[in-house]
Amino acid sequence: MAVVLCLAGLALGAHDAASSNASAPPNAAVTTKYFSGAFQPDQLVTSDGQVWLVTSGNSNGTGCRIGRLAPATMAVTSYPLPACGFNVTAGPGAIFLETTVARVKSETYAIHIERFSTSAHVSTVFGTVSATMALGSDIAHTQLAYLAGSLWFYASLNGRAEVLELSTGTGAVERVFRSVPQIGGTEPIIVGTPGYVWLAGGAGSGADFLRVDVRSGDSRTVEFPGRFASVYELAASGGSLFFLYLGYPSSTSPTSTPPARVALTAHVGHFNANGELLKVSPDEQLGTWLVPLAGSMFSVGPGGSCAPPVLLWRVDEQTLRTAVVTRLSPPGNPCVGEPGFRAVGAAGHSIYVLFSGPAASLYRVTPPTAP
């Protein structure tokens, strides 16, 4: 199976506001919500069993809002944000966003953290400058994540990839990690397991990734045997780490340089809490994301192309083989983008998949109980 990683984002046609229906095997409950009006979400995050949606506003950078989804009705109650933010992430009682202030004279961006209280429904932009970046496209290849009581910011700073551990109360830098994987063509990846933070450069960056001991700050590069091209997704399930990667076909000589246009194979792998490789799958049907739900692991995406439908697979955690749970048919191009484009989350017993665009749509999928 040749895999095409979609880079174009989410392009959808217009739809009326309403809800219900998608093509699904029996027992997979699927509800669809279409958005109309000014609130058109382009980011999704789950926190404390709730689903939150963020809209980046209009082309002038105004009108940004965050909305809470009611699980039963899928109605949205939204609140204003004083600054437009991206790379949304959630911590206890709060949602955080990465914001920028352009400094034209110095040709830099000042990175500030915005905190939204999920109880008081008010937002504050920290006055601290968490990082300074050169004006340019590097801002599109950053990552923000809440893990182990801190915010972790991954970006190309001073001409090289760095990860900053930030205070959740001020946005101030607490630790700096410089020996981290270089960033690929999209966003880098940050995932946590108990006591550790795992870092990868994302699609197009190569296949090495790093495990950082949160307490000591010690790190080690994690590698596994075989010819692989790119680790493009990480997801934690308890203390275990699952990952998606692209590899070269077994027919490719291990000592030769792979052809530039060779069809890559797609795989899922599994590390235990000690960073020991337990298993990798054969060439498998997989999506762009991994999402854990109720002790099971799922993958979401268009599979080997950006042609419809978008599939939700259940990953067998013992064999790492996949089975289709449901098929989603969003309007327009179903390519759901690269990891880090905040479009998939899990809350309660359901997985939520967001398609943004001129008229956004949100799917809620409740998978059948695992056999």
3-state secondary structure 251-266: CCCCCCCCCCCCCCEE
| Torsion angle defined by CA atoms of residues 345, 351, 354 and 355, in that order, rounded to the nearest 10 degrees | 130
* Mean pLDDT within 84-94: 94
- Give the best-scoring range by mean pLDDT among 24-33, 255-264, 333-342: 24-33
**Whether the Cβ atoms of residue 56 and residue 48 lie closer than 8 Å to each other:** no
Whether the per-residue pLDDT at 23 is higher than 90: the answer is: no
Beta bridge partners of 344: 353
pLDDT at 1: 34
Give the model confidence (pLDDT) of 318-363 as tens digits.
899 999 999 988 876 666 543 346 889 999 999 999 988 777 889 9
Tokens for 138, please give them: 């590097």
Confidence bin at 264 (pLDDT 50/70/90):
confident
* Mean pLDDT within 85-109: 92
pLDDT at 205: 78
Which residues have C-beta within 8 Å of that of residue 59, sequence separation ≥ 6? none
Whether the per-residue pLDDT at 250 is higher than 70: the answer is: no
What is residue 115's three-state secondary structure?
A: strand
pLDDT at 6: 42
What's the mean pLDDT when you consider all of the chain?
83
Whether the per-residue pLDDT at 134 is higher than 60: the answer is: yes
In the sheet that holds 310-315, the strands lie side by side as 289-293, 296-301, 310-315, 322-328
pLDDT at 235: 94
pLDDT at 305: 63
Cβ-based burial of 102 (10 A; exposed 0-12, middle 13-18, buried ≥19)? exposed
**Whether the Cβ atoms of residue 153 and residue 164 lie closer than 8 Å to each other:** yes
**CA–CA separation, 127 vs 172, rounded Å?**
9
pLDDT at 120: 96
3-state secondary structure 315-340: ECCCCCCEEEEEEECCCCECCCCCCC
Q: Are strands 240-247 and 265-271 parallel, antiparallel or unpaired?
A: antiparallel
**CA–CA separation, 152 vs 173, rounded Å?**
9
Give the model confidence (pLDDT) of 180-231 as tens digits.
988 888 889 999 999 999 998 888 777 778 899 999 999 988 876 566 778 8
Confidence bin at 262 (pLDDT 50/70/90):
low
pLDDT at 307: 67
Phi and psi at 210, nearest 5°, equal: -120, 140
Could you tell me how many residues make up the chain? 371
**Whether the Cβ atoms of residue 229 and residue 244 lie closer than 8 Å to each other:** no
Name the fold adopted by 18-254+261-366: Methylamine Dehydrogenase; Chain H (2.130.10)
Region for residue 188 given its phi and psi (left: phi exceeds 0; alpha: psi -120 to 50; beta: otherwise): beta
| Torsion angle defined by CA atoms of residues 349, 9, 53 and 323, in that order, rounded to the nearest 10 degrees | 0
Percent of the chain exceeding pLDDT 70 equals: 82
Residue whose entry in the numeric block shows the structure tokens 């990667």: 245
What is residue 140's three-state secondary structure?
A: helix
**CA–CA separation, 124 vs 116, rounded Å?**
6
pLDDT at 4: 33
Confidence bin at 8 (pLDDT 50/70/90):
very low
Distances (CA, A) of 174 to 130, 177, 201, 247: 10, 10, 22, 37
Which residues have C-beta within 8 Å of that of residue 33, sequence separation ≥ 6? 18, 19, 74, 361, 362, 364
Distances (CA, A) of 365 to 20, 336, 348: 11, 16, 11
* Mean pLDDT within 143-150: 95
* Mean pLDDT within 120-127: 96
pLDDT at 332: 66
pLDDT at 76: 94
What single letter denotes the amino acid at residue 342?
A: R
